[in-house]
Amino acid sequence: MLSIGNIERLATAIGASLVVVEDPYTDPPPGNPAHALVKEASALADEKFREVLVATVQPTDIEMY
């Protein structure tokens, strides 16, 4: 599972304006405990940020459902 705190720290480290907030989704699909929304999605347009973010994703972070 991806750490929201880590994603925010990565964004801050490269100067991207990104905020991840809890989304209290009360009925998530089975096996998908995600409860987060990315705010300031324009930060995702930053290629450097995307490259750093992708490098942090491990195969165990991806859940198929």
pLDDT tens digit sequence for 23-48: 666 776 666 566 777 777 777 788 88
| Dist. CA 13–CA 8, nearest whole Å | 9
Threshold 0.85, pTM exceeds: no
On whether the CB atoms of residues 8 and 56 are closer than 8 A, the answer is: no
| Dist. CA 46–CA 33, nearest whole Å | 27
pLDDT at 59 over 80: yes
For 11, the 3-state DSSP assignment is helix
> What per-residue confidence (pLDDT) applies to 32?
57
pLDDT at 56 over 60: yes
| Dist. CA 6–CA 65, nearest whole Å | 24
> What per-residue confidence (pLDDT) applies to 31?
61
